[in-house]
């Protein structure tokens, strides 16, 4: 097997061979990875997200299987992470460990996705069980924190389970002095159909107050929020550090979306962006240009 002197591999075939012949290398590389922390940034962060596939969400815009190829996704992730000004990545273990073996996590902030059990379109989707990383695994990997999607449907009894599970995850991460990135939404199923998130300022404000009260401490809690109308009033609901999520690539005009991000970033407790499909699968497929434009806007 061809490897670099650091133990990294250069091809996807070699990634598979390491997983077959030397799976312990993943932990060894995680232990020796060059790390940077949130404190090493200039106060704002650009984070690339790629945890959608683990929830069965493979579509981007009009392309329902856009993220079906793991190799293409990894190509796009590596291209995005190589853009100057990109600080970090958010993903599940399968993606993060592939990137680790390929050397793409060096000097990056890494957030681990924790709950992916609420499969897109499932009858139990609101009960988004913690099927990915837990706090101890995040700590053992030397990563910076964990992210949890916390949707709140007042008409679905399973929401109470999710609130308890998210609260426990916040507490567990804090015990390891790791960031708990909570992504809350007030959600519903109009007519019993697919889940719809309330993106009104009032809906987001209510979700903020519920999310920031989860756990035995909020010392390590951050929020991951959508950019909506009246962000000044929305962000007045919290003192917690907040990252803005990417939006819906199916419906959002890229220029208008960036303008919305820019307005949100003007708030002092908004500390950056966490963007996935919008930048990884832009309409013109120019990942570097899309990421660079967002980095330029951020800085």
CA distances from 208 to 186, 216, 240, 247, 255 (A): 9, 17, 10, 18, 27
Residue 60 tokens, joined: 């981007």
Asked whether residue 12 falls in the same domain as residue 106, the answer is no
The rounded mean pLDDT for the chain is 94
Is the Cβ–Cβ distance between 272 and 45 less than 8 Å? yes
Tens of pLDDT, residue by residue over 137-157, are 999 999 999 999 999 999 999
Tell me the average pLDDT across 131-135: 98
Asked whether residue 59 falls in the same domain as residue 122, the answer is yes
Tens of pLDDT, residue by residue over 245-261, are 987 665 557 778 888 88
Q: Is the pLDDT of residue 63 over 80?
A: yes
Asked whether residue 14 falls in the same domain as residue 93, the answer is no
Q: Within 68-134, where are the H helices?
A: 70-81, 93-101
Residue 289 tokens, joined: 């240009």
Tell me the average pLDDT across 235-242: 97
Tell me the average pLDDT across 259-270: 91
Asked whether residue 17 falls in the same domain as residue 73, the answer is no
Is the Cβ–Cβ distance between 100 and 33 less than 8 Å? yes
Asked whether residue 160 falls in the same domain as residue 180, the answer is yes
Q: What is the pLDDT of residue 41?
A: 84
Percent of the chain with pLDDT over 70: 96
Tell me the average pLDDT across 225-249: 92
Tell me the average pLDDT across 164-190: 98
CA-based nearest residue to 281, from 250, 244, 243: 250
Q: Is the pLDDT of residue 73 over 60?
A: yes
Q: What is the pTM of this model?
A: 0.95
Tell me the average pLDDT across 93-112: 98
Asked whether residue 8 falls in the same domain as residue 130, the answer is no
Tell me the average pLDDT across 173-177: 98
Asked whether residue 109 falls in the same domain as residue 15, the answer is no
Asked whether residue 80 falls in the same domain as residue 225, the answer is yes
Asked whether residue 123 falls in the same domain as residue 25, the answer is no
Q: Which domain holds residue 283?
A: 37-298
Is the Cβ–Cβ distance between 262 and 273 less than 8 Å? no
What CATH number does residue 230 fall under?
3.20.20.70
Asked whether residue 138 falls in the same domain as residue 220, the answer is yes
- Spatial neighbors of 23 by CB under 8 A, at least 6 apart, are none
Q: What is the pLDDT of residue 4?
A: 57
Buried b (16+ CB within 10 A) or exposed e, 31-40: eebebeebee
Q: How many CA atoms lie within 13 A of 296 on its CB side?
A: 6
Q: What is the pLDDT of residue 123?
A: 95
Rounded to whole angstroms, how far apart are CA atoms 220 and 179?
5
Tell me the average pLDDT across 63-84: 97
Asked whether residue 91 falls in the same domain as residue 231, the answer is yes
Residue 42 tokens, joined: 């200039």
Q: Which helix (H) or strand (E) holds 227?
A: none
Tell me the average pLDDT across 186-202: 95
Residue 100 tokens, joined: 């680790």
Q: How far out from the chain centre does Cα 142 lie?
A: 17
Tens of pLDDT, residue by residue over 22-31, are 999 999 999 9
Q: What is the pLDDT of residue 2?
A: 52
Rounded to whole angstroms, how far apart are CA atoms 34 and 63?
36
Q: What is the pLDDT of residue 252?
A: 59
Is the Cβ–Cβ distance between 189 and 153 less than 8 Å? yes
Place of tokens 């061809």: 2
Tell me the average pLDDT across 279-284: 93
């Amino acid at each position: 097997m061809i490897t670099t002197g650091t133990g990294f591999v250069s091809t996807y075939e070699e990634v598979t061979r390491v997983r077959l012949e030397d799976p312990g290398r993943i932990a060894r590389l995680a232990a020796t990875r060059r790390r940077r922390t949130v404190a090493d940034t200039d106060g704002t962060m650009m984070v690339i997200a790629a945890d959608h596939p683990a929830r069965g969400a493979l579509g981007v815009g009009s392309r329902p299987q856009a993220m079906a190829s793991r190799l293409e996704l990894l190509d796009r992730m590596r291209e995005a992470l190589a853009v100057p000004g990109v600080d970090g990545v958010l993903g599940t273990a399968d993606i993060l460990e592939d990137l680790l073996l390929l050397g793409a996590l060096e000097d990056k902030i890494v957030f681990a996705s924790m709950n992916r059990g609420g499969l897109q379109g499932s009858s139990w989707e609101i009960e988004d069980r913690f099927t990915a990383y837990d706090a101890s695994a995040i700590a053992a990997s030397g990563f910076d924190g964990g992210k949890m999607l916390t949707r709140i449907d007042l008409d679905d009894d399973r929401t109470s389970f999710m609130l308890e599970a998210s609260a426990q995850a916040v507490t567990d991460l804090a015990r390891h002095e790791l960031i708990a990135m909570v992504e809350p939404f007030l959600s519903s199923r109009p007519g019993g159909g697919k889940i719809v998130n309330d993106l009104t300022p009032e809906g987001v404000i209510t979700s903020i107050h519920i999310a920031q009260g989860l756990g035995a401490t909020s010392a390590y809690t951050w929020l991951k929020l959508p950019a909506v109308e009246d962000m000044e009033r929305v962000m007045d609901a919290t003192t917690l550090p907040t990252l803005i999520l990417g939006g819906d690539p199916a419906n959002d005009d890229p220029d208008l979306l960036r303008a919305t991000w820019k307005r949100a970033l003007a708030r002092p407790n908004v500390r950056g962006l966490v963007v996935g499909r919008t930048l990884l699968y832009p309409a013109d497929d120019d990942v570097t240009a899309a990421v660079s434009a967002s980095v330029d806007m951020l800085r």
